[in-house]
Amino acid sequence: MGAMGEMRATPGTGRVTGNWWALALRALAAILLGILALSQPGITLRALLVLFGVYAMADGIFAVVAAIRGIREREPWGWMMFEGIVGIIAGAIALFAPQIGALALVWLVAGWALATGVLEIAAAVKLRKIMKGEWMLLLAGVLSIIFALIIASRPGLGMLALVFWIGAYAIIYGVMTMVLAFEVRRWTKDHEAPARA
């Protein structure tokens, strides 16, 4: 790997390694969203909007917090901030525009997932320089893009199918992100002592 001093100098490391708890919370939120969606096959459009809106907004807020930390540590923060803003906007639309229909929800979710996937792949490429386990983030990004393409290619998707795809995606994504969070936590603990020495 190299010396800890070299790792600390790598752009973008602090916002990832210092925010493992934010990754864990994002993962937990995704898993809860998935469980709620799959356990309610007869869920109404409004209820699904609320579920997605709360998740996307929470996910966006965590990303913005990580970006602000990156600003303070003088690290690259633009991509993380952009991802956070996208999530907050998507969540706000879902929560405060209840009049949108199922078709609009499909495009909203697809757009959010596509943006998230691209940004996660970019983050994985940077993370690859400092630790193992970055493939989980890369896989999560690819999963997000595939999910976006699947639902975008079926604009007439029925509510039941939409709920299933959102639920399945959220659980798989959440599990992968949780594994990454604990991998980051382990890496951080392993390198805290050498950093203080």
Taking the CA of residue 26 as centre, how many other CA atoms within 13 Å lie in the half-sphere pointing to its CB? 28
Q: Do the beta carbons of residue 40 and residue 163 sit within 8 Å?
A: yes
The amino acid present at 45, given as its one-letter code, is L
What are the pLDDT digits (tens) for 8-22? 334 344 444 456 777
Residue 12: the pLDDT is 41
Residues of the chain with pLDDT under 70: 1-19, 70, 72-77, 129-134, 191-197
Q: Provide the residue count of the chain.
A: 197
Taking the CA of residue 47 as centre, how many other CA atoms within 13 Å lie in the half-sphere pointing to its CB? 13
Residue 31: the pLDDT is 93
Residue 50: the pLDDT is 87
In sign, the C-alpha dihedral spanning 81, 122, 25, 45 is: positive
Distance separating alpha carbons of residues 136 and 133, to the nearest angstrom: 6
| CB-based contacts of 127, cutoff 8 Å, min separation 6 | 12, 13, 16, 134, 137
Residue 1: the pLDDT is 34
Three-state secondary structure string covering 34-96? HHHHHHCCCCCHHHHHHHHHHHHHHHHHHHHHHHHHHHHCCCCCHHHHHHHHHHHHHHHHHHH
CATH architecture of the domain with range 22-189:
Alpha Horseshoe (1.25)
Distance separating alpha carbons of residues 68 and 22, to the nearest angstrom: 13
Q: Kindly state the helix (H) or strand (E) to which residue 154 belongs, with its residue range.
A: none
What are the pLDDT digits (tens) for 20-61? 777 788 889 899 989 988 988 778 878 888 888 998 998 888
